[in-house]
C-alpha cells in the first residue's frame, strides 16, 4: 500500500518516525512535507497535496491512503477534507481510527502529534491503515449521499 503523509511543524518528529516505521512494515511512504522545520509554516499546502495524491492514486487503481499530522490534527483534517473525494477522519483512540475505515471508508487519517506519545500515535495510524471498509450497504449508502453533495450540491434525504 502507498501512504501519503504530510505534517506541520508540530508533527515533524512523528512524521519522521512514521516514515521509518511504516516503510519497515512494508508501506510505500510518500512524504509531502515539509522538508525542514519552520515554526511559521503553513500546513494547508502540504496536507492538500497529500490528500490530492491519495485521490489520484485511488482513481488510478493504486491501493493508497493518507496521513496528515499537526499539533491537534484539526486544521490538517479540515485542509485534507477540502480535496474532492477525500474523507479525512480525526483519530484520537483505537476505536475512532478503526471506525473511520470500517464505517466511513476514510482515506486519510489525521492525528494530533501533541495529543499522543509517538507510540500511541503509531498504534492509531497502524490500526487505521490495517482496517478494511465493511462494504455494508448502509455505510455505502451514507458515503454515497456525502459524495452526491460534494459533486452536485444536492442534499439527498
For 67-128, the DSSP string reads: EEEESSSHHHHHHHTTSTT--EEE--SHHHHHHHHHTT--SEEEEETTTS-HHHHHHHHHHH
Omega cis (within 30) before 13: no
Phi and psi at 149, nearest 5°, equal: -60, -45
- The one catalytic residue in 4, 32, 76, 116 is 76
- The one catalytic residue in 9, 13, 17, 103 is 103
CB atoms within 10 A of CB 66: 29
Q: Which residues contact 129 (CB under 8 A, 6 or more apart)?
A: 1, 3, 22, 27, 65, 109
For the question of residue 103 being annotated catalytic, the response is: yes
For the question of residue 76 being annotated catalytic, the response is: yes
* Distance, first Cα to last Cα, the chain: 35
Catalytic residue list: 76, 103
Amino acid at each position: 500500500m502507498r501512504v501519503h503523509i504530510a505534517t506541520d511543524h508540530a508533527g515533524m518528529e512523528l512524521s519522521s518516525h512514521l516514515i521509518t516505521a511504516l516503510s519497515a512494515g512494508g508501506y510505500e511512504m510518500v512524504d509531502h512535507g515539509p522538508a525542514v522545520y519552520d515554526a511559521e509554516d503553513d500546513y494547508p499546502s502540504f496536507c492538500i497535496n497529500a490528500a490530492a495524491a491519495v485521490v489520484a492514486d485511488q482513481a488510478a487503481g493504486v491501493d493508497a491512503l493518507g496521513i496528515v499530522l499537526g499539533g491537534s490534527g484539526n486544521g490538517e483534517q479540515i485542509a485534507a477534507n477540502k480535496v474532492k473525494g477525500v474523507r479525512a477522519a480525526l483519530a484520537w483512540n483505537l476505536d475512532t481510527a478503526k471506525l473511520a475505515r470500517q464505517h466511513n471508508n476514510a482515506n486519510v487519517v489525521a492525528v494530533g502529534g501533541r495529543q499522543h506519545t509517538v507510540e500511541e500515535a503509531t498504534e492509531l495510524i497502524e490500526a487505521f491503515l490495517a482496517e478494511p471498509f465493511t462494504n455494508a450497504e448502509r455505510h455505502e449508502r451514507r458515503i454515497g449521499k456525502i459524495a452526491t453533495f460534494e459533486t452536485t450540491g444536492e442534499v439527498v434525504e
